[in-house]
Structure 1
Amino acid sequence: MSSLAFLFNRLLQDFRFQSKVIKMVMDWTVMLYMTIPAVFMAGFTYRSWWIELPDWSEFVVLPGLASIVFIVSWSSQYRSFVKEADEVFLLKYKQKYFQLKKWAYGYSFIKNVVSILLAVLLVLPFLSHKYSFSITEVFCFMLLFIGFSSFIMSIKMIFSMYLQGWLEKLLLTLLFLFFLAATLLSFSQYVYMPAYLIGIALIFIVISFFLSYRRLHTTKYFYQEVAKENEEFMRYVQLVFGAAPELEKPKIIKRTRPLLFPQSKRLFKRNLATFGFLELFFKVILRNSSYFGGYYKLFAVTALAIILIPPLYLKLILLLGFWYFIWIWAGHVWDKVILTNPIGRQYENHDAFFSARKQACLVLTLPAICLLSVILIVNLF
């Protein structure tokens, strides 16, 4: 079997598996009453934008439109389509293994191009009607983010091979904030300079191919590639676990000692039952990054939506909806942490349990609401 046929076989396996996962979530009732109407409404709304832009389009700024495409570009990911069992065969025939990785890289690049094309089509009515983009300017706009997605895909590939855990996440977060700030602050100055955009895009593409070339011609990082591919293969399953808290699986901690509170000192001086519940709860969620990571993701997505959504009333609705949702989420996390413990379940009917639960929900809710309110006020002015 050729390497290209091998890739198509893996793509078919991936498609079948992801389809089964989606069908488990979206049965015929969801498709009939939610998905299909939503698709039709989105289509009619998009068509209306071409006829006449909505009233809130006056609040849409060019860096905001570029940020939407930027986020899509940032999601680019290289998939190697290698499995653990390939160690037996492919590593003995290295040329086939290298060819498989090259075809997989080409597939990942084309997939990123298609994603960016769809994102550009989404914002195209605003680019065309409000900012009077020509065909050449739209093409250069799209080419810039295609080059950027290729560059980010190569950076993520390198980070996954050389870095692990929090350091990789920290560096990617810093890169994301840096390029997002550059997009918001300087994009309007150069968007009407096609030669400049093409030059930057070509630099990104050349750098990405240079960074990827050696990684596509080595077997040194086989196990890292397998681990990353398994993450991508299970991406929809992880989304289901994240959307269904009762199916959520906390991250397994491999350290022998916790990073925070290694000596397990007391957080509160007063010896009260309420403080005992609170101390147990906050030590658990701070030591296990899966809980704090979920909290951060909810906050980050809401903050980004408040920044990008133009109408004020939608921002306020989003803020109130977040307040309600984060309170429910905090209560669920409390029940999961405390009530899964036999000792905690024994005291679930005590007054201290409900008092501590309310205080924990307040502590998790108020800081996020205050920060989002500040972001909303700053965004208005």
Structure 2
Amino acid sequence: MVQITPQMIFCRRFRTYIEQQRKALATVVDWIVMLYILIPGLLIGGGIYIDFWTDPLPVWSESIPLSLFAILIWFLFSGKLLLFLEDADVLFLRQQQTWMKKIMFRGVLVSSLMNIGKGCLLSVLVLPFMVRNFEFFLEDWIIFFIYIAVLSCVSGLAGRIVSVSNSGWKGKFRSLLPDVAAILLIIISTLNHAFLLSVAGIPLITLLAALLLWLVRRRIRMTGTFMRDVEEDNTTKMGLTGKLLSQATEKPTKSTSKTWLFTKSQRLYKGQPEKRLANAGIKAFLRKKETLLMYMQISFIGIPAIWLPPIYIKCIVFVLILFMIAYWLFIRWHIFSNSDYLKVLPYTEVQHQSAAVLAVRTLYSFPAFLLSAAFGLSVQTGIYGISLAIATTAFSIWIVPRMAIIATYRQKSKE
């Protein structure tokens, strides 16, 4: 008979946690479809990343201080801690304090290593700006990253201790204090980064490492926080699942007696039946919070994707994003036009298509203006950039919706 040990219990729980995260991703991600997104994204992103190492960096990056980069890297290294405690432990393991301490120690160690690994991977993205703007030696970068990594572990563990020691809103508020203290320490320590790296770096890392060991020891020896620890662990484990489900499913619509947009039923367009239909489609789109939020996100997130790359990648990304937005708007129109309410109204297919073009062109104008402005001003400066932005906006509003509707209604005819 195999004797169960704390190490076996921890390994089984860790494997279960990894499997849960994998299944959560599998429920909302089609990996075959993701290949069509990841491969072009990696090729384009890889080209942009290489250009950041070889070509001159954007002028705006030179004005970013080291403290802001350090805070960003600290944020990338930060993450939730898991002690791998479960509700059922109250029946047996809670009486075995030695086993509980071993499981909690392994949980703190593995969670910290996972956060450090995540931080190292994500920090590679900002490394060209830091290496080329701040001419440090290799040993200076090693000291800097070790300092940020240890500080993130200290702030994360201190925040966990404070949150489980205090209940309610006080616990949530006080758990932010270690993060605030870490940010202040980063700002102060990077005011003179030469002094930090040459004189104060290693002693400061040593002090933080000693503080981290003390926090680990205190965390393991804490008593009376079992139920709050289990609650924190469950919240952390279900965090990814909750985020994925919030994007994959829509929340139930709250019934209200009055809308907060177009409260007086203003008409955007007057006249023909297709214009009245377009009015209804635009209002239905903007009154729905989920679609409105997605609409604003794709309108603004595309700006850095167009502004930062070199010119040949910039043009490709600009065109692809414009067509993606127009196609998405037509998909939303397709859902609206197939609603039960519209099926009883005597609109012809031609009127539906005319209304679709008008509604999509209206909704498309805002992101087209933003992205065209980002494209024009990143290519040219002054009046030439503004003129290019205006011309690109007008051309895309006239052409892109008409081309996107072909793909949409071709897909509709297949269905």
- TM-score category by the smaller chain? 0.5 to 0.7
Q: State the identity %.
A: 21
Most deviating of 28-37 and 196-205:
28-37
Seen in structure 2, the aligned counterparts of structure 1 residues 248 and 108 have a Cα distance that, compared at 3 Å, is farther
**1:114 aligned onto 2:121:** no
1:82 aligns with 2:85: yes
RMSD value, Cα = 3.8
Q: Which of 204, 213, 226 is the equivalent residue of 1:222?
A: 226
In structure 2, which of residues 78, 90, 94 is the aligned counterpart of residue 91 of structure 1? Answer: 94
1:4 paired to 2:11: no
How many residues are aligned here? 271
User: How far apart, in 2, do the equivalents of 1:23 and 1:180 lie?
Assistant: 36
Following superposition of structure 1 onto structure 2, how do residues 293-304 of structure 1 map, counting pairs within 5 Å? none
Report if the CA contact (8 A) 2:67-2:187 is conserved. yes
Q: Deviations over 1:66-105 (max 9, x none)?
A: 12102123x3322111111122231233212211111111
- What is the CA–CA distance in structure 1 between the aligned matches of 2:173 and 2:42, rounded to whole Å? 36
Does the aligned pair in 1 maintain the 2:155–2:182 contact within 8 Å? no
Residue aligning to 1:240: 244
Q: Using a 3 Å threshold, how does the CA distance of structure 1 residues 248 and 189 change in structure 2: closer, same or farther?
A: farther
> Is residue 2:208 matched to residue 1:204?
yes
* Greater Cα radius of gyration, structure 1 or 2: 2
Q: Alpha-carbon deviation of 1:183?
A: 3.3
Q: Which amino acid aligns with 2:108?
A: Y
Please tell me the residue identity of whatever aligns with 2:30. D
Corresponding residue number in structure 1 for 2:49 = 46
Higher relative contact order (CA 8 A, sep 6+): 1
Q: Which of 162, 187, 190 matches 1:159?
A: 162
- Which position in structure 2 is the counterpart of 1:66? 70
Determine the structure 2 residue equivalent to 1:370. Answer: none
Q: Deviations over 1:207-248 (max 9, x none)?
A: 222123132135532211111110111011111243346148
Structure 1 stretches of at least 4 aligned residues deviating more than 4 Å after TM superposition: 247-250, 272-275
**Structure 1 residues 191 and 45, CA gap change in structure 2 (3 angstroms):** farther
Q: Which residue of 2 aligns with 1:32?
A: 35
Cα distance, 1:190–1:58 mapped onto 2, change above 3 Å: closer
Q: How has the CA–CA distance of structure 1 residues 43 and 9 changed in structure 2, closer, same or farther, with 3 Å as cutoff?
A: farther
What is the alpha-carbon distance in structure 1 between the residues aligned to residue 128 and residue 52 of structure 2? 6
Separation in 2, partners of 1:129, 1:235: 36
**Conserved 8 A contact 2:86-2:230:** yes
2:192 to 185, 189, 192: 189
Letter in 2 for 1:104: G
- Please state whether the residue corresponding to 2:192 is helix, strand or coil: helix
Asked whether the equivalents of residues 63 and 187 of structure 1 are also in contact (C-alpha less than 8 Å), the reply is yes
Q: Deviations over 1:236-295 (max 9, x none)?
A: 111124334614899xxxxxxxxxxxxxxxxxxxxx9789xx9xxxxxxxxxxxx9xxx9
Q: In 2, distance between residues paired with 1:5 and 1:231?
A: 24
Partner of 2:17: 14
Secondary structure of 1:155 counterpart: helix
1:314-362 deviation digits (Å, cap 9, x = unpaired): 9xx9xxxxxxxxxxxxxxxxxxxxxxxxxxxxxxxxxxxxxxxxxxxxx
1:129 paired residue number? 132
Choose which of 150, 153, 161 in structure 1 pairs with 2:153.
Answer: 150
Q: Counterpart of 1:169?
A: 172
Q: Which runs of 5+ in 1 are unaligned?
A: 251-271, 279-290, 318-381
SS of alignment partner, residue 119 of structure 2 = helix
C-alpha contact 1:120 1:142 (8 A) present in aligned 2: no
Output the TM-score relative to the length of structure 2.
Answer: 0.56
CA separation of 1:274 and 1:135: change in aligned 2, threshold 3 A: closer
> When the two structures are superposed, what TM-score results if normalisation uses the length of structure 1?
0.60
**Cα separation, 1, equivalents of 2:130 and 2:97:** 47
Q: Measure, in 2, the Cα distance between the counterparts of 1:154 and 1:178.
A: 13
Stretch deviating more after TM superposition (97-106 or 191-200): 191-200
User: Equivalent residue for 2:280?
Assistant: none
Contact 2:163 2:175 in 1 (8 A): no
Question: What SS is found at the alignment partner of 2:80?
Answer: coil
